[in-house]
Amino acid sequence: MTKLEIIIASTRPNRVGLPVGRWVREQALAHGGFDEVELVDLAEVNLPFMNEPHHPRLRKYVHQHTKDWSAKISEADAFVFVMPEYNAGFNAELKNAIDYLNAEWHYKAVGLVSYGGVSAGTRAAQMIKQVVTTLKMTPLIEAVSIPFVQQFLDGDQKIVPNETMLAAGKTMFDEMVRLTDSLRPLREETRAALAPANG
């Protein structure tokens, strides 16, 4: 069983991240390479600014919100980050959510679906690679980069993709499935080591 979690990184009211995330979920389901696909909305997860007293490596979480977040991320085999570009970087809420945990992220592929203006969020996507590789995630070079994202929204705030976006999504999911399978032994080792603390 492989589970993909699609994380919507932006949390502000009227964010474009929600329609983009819903579109990515549809694409993942249509692709069919994952047994389970879940949309994880950071606005709903609603983590406060990092307030754990211990380093996440120790897994001595004291807050229920962290224990819940740990359980959610542990379940996943791969991620897509649906991420905006804010001031030529990735958004703070995503960094905060990443920083809460450590081994829960290990040996999981991450696809980057970024959006913004002319840059299509690519500066944010490049910047986050340094962070995710520190946590032993593998970011895919195959990505979906959406320029001037507003142009792809219809009157119902639904994404209407072009051919480039559809092809990029398919390529990204193809590679993600291959990588997710290849990383499985390392992920299982990590999961086994984590099991007692999770229980």
Residues of the chain by 3-state class (helix, strand, coil), percent to 5:
50, 20, 35
Binding string, residues 130-149; x marks residues near ligand FMN by CB under 6 A = -------------------x
| Contact flag: residue 158 with ligand FMN (CB under 6 A) | no
Q: Which residues of 96-111 are buried (b: 16+ CB within 10 A; e: fewer)?
A: ebbebbbbbbbbbbbb
- Pick 2 or 119: Cβ nearer ligand FMN: 119
Q: In angstroms, rounded to a whole number, what is the distance separating the alpha carbons of residues 141 and 110?
A: 10
Q: Which of residues 72-101 bind ligand FMN (CB under 6 A)?
A: 84-88
Least gap, CB of 139 to ligand FMN (angstroms): 19
Among candidates 94, 93, 70, which has minimal Cα distance to 81? 94
| Contact flag: residue 19 with ligand FMN (CB under 6 A) | no
Name the closest residue to ligand FMN (Cβ). 116
- Pick 17 or 56: Cβ nearer ligand FMN: 17
- Pick 126 or 138: Cβ nearer ligand FMN: 126
What CA–CA distances, in Å, run from 105 to 26, 27, 126?
24, 23, 18
| Contact flag: residue 114 with ligand FMN (CB under 6 A) | no
The alpha carbon dihedral of 54, 46, 194, 136 has a sign of negative
* Site residues for ligand FMN per CB under 6 A: 10, 12, 15-17, 84-88, 116-117, 119, 149
